[in-house]
């Protein structure tokens, strides 16, 4: 996405699906709120939408009120927010709404497992994207025309995809930087007690099972022992003894 288009983003729409991840949603929206607060201007506005409007419940049991998706107009960027069991939570209505936003020319994005909804709608073919490491292997097989990367967030032309947890905070700070400037981004980060803003090169810290795929459990244990003792490497004999394996 060009710097000019990124700088022009001002109306953000968020479309949570049932059982969405609240932390991903709040980390994203709070960056916009703080930007407005610190500048004393309404630089950003946001809408929270669903197919018919009404409350949508997150995975932690809390709900957010939404307006009907047809009433939001044409936002600059739309984020679909996923969570647990996203395959079941994503309905034909969600897919239809995302395709409509795509036809309107909106930038499309996702938080947490919301990337699945974009891919299922056929809107990530030929794109690179990010998704939580827990879902990466399965989606690589289901959507072979999409490149799933290990980065915390990926901006590929008019698609902005992000993993869950606190990563949306970093992603949003990067998105608003062309408009508010790096000094303001630093000020916002300081308000949230964030010492370092991660950029598009930052990668997810993935557990061994996600990085290596299926393998012998004892092998995972050996590799973990090696990684945890980088400064004082264990001998082959010690590794074998601690893992309960032969040296061979």
Model confidence pLDDT, tens digit, residues 234-243:
777 776 776 6
Q: Which of 25, 3, 5, 23 is nearest to 14 (CA)?
A: 25
pLDDT tens-digit profile of 20-42?
999 999 999 999 999 999 999 99
- The continuous run of DSSP H or E covering 136 comes out as helix 133-142
220 or 112: which carries more pLDDT confidence? 112
pLDDT above 90 as % of the chain: 70
Q: What's the pLDDT score for residue 242?
A: 66
pLDDT band at 157 (very low <50, low <70, confident <90, very high): very high
pLDDT band at 208 (very low <50, low <70, confident <90, very high): low
126 or 132: which carries more pLDDT confidence? 126
41: Cβ contacts below 8 Å, ≥ 6 apart: none
Domain locations in the chain as residue ranges: 3-191, 208-243
pLDDT exceeds cutoff 80 at 232: no
pLDDT band at 228 (very low <50, low <70, confident <90, very high): low
Quote the CA–CA distance of 186 and 182 in Å, as a whole number: 6
User: What integer best gives the mean pLDDT of the chain?
Assistant: 89
Q: What's the pLDDT score for residue 209?
A: 52
- The continuous run of DSSP H or E covering 199 comes out as none
pLDDT tens-digit profile of 166-184?
999 999 999 999 999 999 9
Mean pLDDT of 135-157: 91
Q: What's the pLDDT score for residue 220?
A: 56
Whether the CB-CB separation of 159 and 108 falls below 8 Å is answered with: yes
pLDDT band at 227 (very low <50, low <70, confident <90, very high): low
Q: What's the pLDDT score for residue 240?
A: 74
pLDDT tens-digit profile of 56-71?
999 999 999 999 999 9
Q: Enter the tokens of residue 234.
A: 């264990």
Q: Enter the tokens of residue 47.
A: 């809408």
Quote the CA–CA distance of 247 and 227 in Å, as a whole number: 18
Q: Enter the tokens of residue 245.
A: 């394996």
pLDDT band at 218 (very low <50, low <70, confident <90, very high): low
Q: What's the pLDDT score for residue 123?
A: 97
The domain defined by 3-191 carries CATH number 2.30.40.10: no
């Amino acid at each position: 996405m060009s710097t000019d288009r990124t700088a022009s983003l001002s109306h953000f729409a968020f479309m949570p699906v049932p059982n969405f991840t609240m932390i991903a949603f709040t980390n994203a929206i709070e960056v916009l709120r703080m930007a407005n607060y610190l500048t004393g201007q309404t630089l950003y506005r946001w809408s929270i939408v669903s197919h018919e409007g009404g409350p949508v419940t997150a995975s932690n049991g809390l709900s957010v009120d939404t307006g009907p998706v047809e009433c939001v107009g044409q936002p600059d960027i739309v984020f679909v927010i996923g969570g647990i069991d996203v395959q079941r939570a994503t309905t034909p209505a969600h897919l239809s709404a995302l395709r409509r936003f795509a036809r309107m020319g909106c930038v499309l994005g996702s938080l947490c497992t919301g990337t699945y909804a974009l891919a299922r709608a056929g809107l990530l073919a030929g794109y690179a994207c990010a998704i939580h490491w827990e879902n990466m292997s399965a989606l690589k097989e289901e959507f072979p025309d999409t490149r799933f990367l290990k980065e915390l967030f990926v901006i590929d032309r008019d698609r902005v995809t992000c993993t869950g947890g606190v990563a949306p905070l970093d992603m949003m700070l990067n998105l608003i930087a062309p408009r508010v400037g790096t000094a303001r981004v630093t000020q916002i980060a300081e308000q949230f007690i964030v010492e370092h803003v991660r950029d598009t090169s930052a990668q997810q810290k993935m557990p061994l099972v996600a990085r290596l795929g299926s393998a012998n459990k004892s092998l995972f244990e050996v590799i973990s022992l090696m990684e945890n003792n980088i400064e004082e490497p264990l001998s082959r004999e010690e590794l074998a003894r601690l893992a309960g394996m032969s040296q061979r």
